[in-house]
Amino acid sequence: MLNRRAPLLILLGIIFGISVLVAASPGAQAQTQQRLVEEVDIQGNRRNRDEDLLYYIQTKPETPYSREQAERDLQTLLALNFFDKSNARVEVEDAPRGGVRVIFVVTELPIIRDIQFEGLKSVAESDVLKAFRERRIGISKENIFDPVKLQNAKRVIKELLAARGRPNAVVDHRDDEVSATSTAITFVIAEGERVRVVEIQFEGNQVFSDGSLRSQMKYVKEAGLVTRFKSQDILDREKLEVDLRLVQFYMRSKGYLQARTGEPRVEGLGKRRTGLFIPLPFLSSTDEALRVTVPVTEGKLYRIGSLKVEGNSIYSEQIITSIIDLKPGDIANGERIGKALQEDLKKAYGQQGFIQYEYDVEPTFKDNPQNPKEGIADFVFTITEGKQFTLRRLEFLGNTFTRDNVLRREVLVNEGDIFNQRFFEISVLRLNQLGFFDPLDAERDADFRTDEEEALVDINLKVAERGRQQISFNGGISGVGGSFFGLEYSTNNLLGRGETLSLNLAYGNRQRSFQFSFTEPYINNRPITVGFSIFATSQKFFGEGTFLSNNQDAQQGLFGSQLDFLNVNEENLFTRDSIGASLFASAPLSEFMKKTTFSQLSRVGLSYQISQTSVKDPAVNQDATGTNFIPTIYGQPNILTSRVAGTFAYDSRGFAKDPNDPVRGRSVSASVALSGLGGDVRTYAPQISFTQYYPIRRKGRDQQPEVFGFRIVAANIGSFATTQTIRDSASLAFIDGIPIYERFFLGDEFTIRGYNVRSISPIVPLDTFITTRNVVLSSTATGTAVSAGLPAQFSNIGNLTGP
């Protein structure tokens, strides 16, 4: 037994001896016992202090050295973006006491002191720097220079030049050392030739003509006189891709559901003249020409075979198919199907609180046995309704002065109600119409947070308050008011509860006015608006009989130079004085009928106004000689007018950037005014107004779009009785009981621009002689006016600057 174990014992002894010798070797001792870090140093830094950088380093003196930790520390330093990543390393040296000295060798990136552009002509330098900021390139003065960011900046410049028709631009740069820690960057740009798209053609299309397909393209068009100024003749790949999608949508809207476009081919055609055929600056030029050829596969014309809806429970299949508005045998309009599912059905489900509505379309294409050139498309629409959500919490963020209840009373969805997406959109519109905030967007400014388990939704609506108070001073010289000075004060949110107060004062040698008004939007927490207004005016003017007078001074003032009105003798002027007050109240139509979109955006109102107006003769009419007498054509005594009016208004106008400048929607108003109620005037005056706005060109999400708008106004005034006071006035100030100041005249910014106020009117022929008393006039008892033009908001259509 002992002899058998002897070899095993000898082997174990040998292994033990070898392990002892290895353990006693210097290398093993070094591995077992790590060396300590005696010193940590940073080399190459100039602007950054050692102690600031050492703060980020975990390798510390008197700690065991770790190569992995030192590498991590180096990456931490490089992440500060102060140093060149391609020229940084860690060095380790022996220290005097047997430890190590760790050195981080870095090269600081210089500070950019200046940025210059050489050869840049097609793009403004300010636009380039703006693009750098918007895309967060990181290249600007006083920033740290980074080679990677520099390459991104070059790419941005190339993209900007390509968008200006310079796709072959070459962008390089030059570094000019300003000091050891700063540099100046100069972008050296060779823009290359101007390139324009002169031909866009399609191949493979049999049903659709090239012209019909080209007409669907909005962003890339063939070179022409208009497209050159709108930069639409520039080949932009992203815009071209959008246009080709529009072409596909168009073909599919005509029933060609499998129509598609291929990869466009671009060919150079050499230099060609574009624009006008004659060489004129800005209107024509010789440029590099391109031809874009788009392969088209039209496929078959498909008709609806069957429509099947799955997954629906809220709306029946009949309702959903009626929204899609297609039936078997109809041409399969892909655009209509997409709009019905993406917009119409989404709105319908959103009104019921199903805000997570989704859909899926599964078409099956089959041959039409009756017509081999056509096909049949069977559709299966799978609806995923989701849960019905309830509004749990609605919070407003940013209203530092306006009270929460002022905003909440404009919101048609209360906390605890089933969420209605349509009512929420109308609520945002109503908030915009307050004018208290910058225009809100229901998608951009509303943050929706859903609790899917409980089917609850929380909304945070961010608002930005506008200035509440406005004070303006105005003054000048005019032919109507003479020399004048004015003060206007208004506040649209007086105490944070939505009250509106305004005060207007104007004082001049020929015109003076005062007006004070106050509006309370809610009474007892109900949307009933009440208010009042007080006004007084006094105006001096030339009477219509001035040109019949022998008063040479008055004649010269009337027909003299338009710039000579300061020298007019005021003794030759008539004076019209008016004073009065009004009360008004209005409420949403939804207070009296079922709450619908129409009733929520409509208001009915009632107002009462009482005023007293008189026209005084010129002072020269009191002259005993009578040589300066001016015939009184429409002088009148103190006429009392007591008027009540009923009003209706529907307002669906929407705003984008400027809360005073609508971009979409319409405004309809109607009123009937009845004068009487103890006054001297007995008239009735119906009026209706319609205004419509259409956005015709969108410039960007944060820019005001170009808008087309028009306004139509129709009105009539008539008299149903004549009081003794009116009959005794014996002047042309009243025509069968209608005051001259209430008849219709055109000529102002609300009717026909370019004409003086109330300067356009019908002419009443008089076949009798001129006399100063017992004036007799025959005319109809009514007056009617119909005018059409641009809305008053469109008074500024552009800016004209000059030297």
Query: Higher model confidence: residue 213 or residue 226?
Result: 213
Q: What band does 228 get if pLDDT is binned at 50, 70 and 90? A: confident
CA nearest 409: which of 396, 398, 420, 392? Answer: 396
**C-alpha distance across the termini of the chain, in Å:** 122
Q: What is the dihedral of CA 555, 559, 561, 563, to 10 degrees?
A: 80
Q: What is the pTM of this model?
A: 0.62
Q: What is the pLDDT of residue 291?
A: 92
Task: Round the average pLDDT of the chain to a whole number and report it.
Answer: 81
Query: Higher model confidence: residue 145 or residue 770?
Result: 145
16-25, 576-585, 729-738: which range is least confident on average?
A: 16-25
Q: How many CA atoms lie within 13 A of 580 on its CB side?
A: 20
Q: Which residues contact 791 (CB under 8 A, 6 or more apart)?
A: 691, 693, 709, 710, 711
Distance CA(579)–CA(381), nearest Å, equals 68
Helix (H, G, I), strand (E, B) or coil at 58: coil
For 410-435, the pLDDT digits (tens) are: 888 889 999 999 999 989 988 888 87
- Is it the case that residue 444 has pLDDT exceeding 90? no
For 50-59, the pLDDT digits (tens) are: 888 888 888 8
Q: What is the pLDDT of residue 33?
A: 45
Q: What is the pLDDT of residue 563?
A: 41
- Is it the case that residue 627 has pLDDT exceeding 60? no
Distance CA(390)–CA(667), nearest Å, equals 33
Q: What is the pLDDT of residue 22?
A: 43
Give the CA distances from residue 665 to residues 560, 601, 697, in Å, rounded to whole numbers and listed in that order.
Answer: 47, 11, 15
Q: What is the pLDDT of residue 493?
A: 75
| Residues 166-180, mean pLDDT to the nearest whole number | 87
Task: Specify whether the CB–CB gap between 309 and 362 falls below 8 A.
Answer: no
- Is it the case that residue 227 has pLDDT exceeding 60? yes
Q: What is the pLDDT of residue 1?
A: 46
Q: What band does 186 get if pLDDT is binned at 50, 70 and 90? A: very high
- Is it the case that residue 466 has pLDDT exceeding 60? yes
- Is it the case that residue 747 has pLDDT exceeding 70? no
Q: What is the pLDDT of residue 533?
A: 96
Task: Specify whether the CB–CB gap between 196 and 165 falls below 8 A.
Answer: yes
Q: What is the pLDDT of residue 572?
A: 54
Strand 662-675 versus strand 683-697 pairing type: antiparallel
Distance CA(216)–CA(245), nearest Å, equals 10
What percent of the chain clears pLDDT 70, i.e. is strictly above it? 79
CA nearest 150: which of 140, 159, 142? Answer: 140
Query: Higher model confidence: residue 272 or residue 727?
Result: 272
For 472-504, the pLDDT digits (tens) are: 887 776 555 567 788 888 887 777 778 889 999
Task: Specify whether the CB–CB gap between 521 and 496 falls below 8 A.
Answer: no
Task: Specify whether the CB–CB gap between 430 and 527 falls below 8 A.
Answer: no
Best-predicted range by mean pLDDT among 26-35, 186-195, 482-491, 718-727? 186-195
For 123-160, the pLDDT digits (tens) are: 898 899 999 988 888 888 888 888 888 899 999 999 89
159-173, 478-492, 655-669, 749-763: which range is least confident on average?
A: 749-763
320-329, 357-366, 459-468, 569-578: which range is least confident on average?
A: 569-578
Q: What band does 734 get if pLDDT is binned at 50, 70 and 90? A: confident
Q: What band does 630 get if pLDDT is binned at 50, 70 and 90? A: low
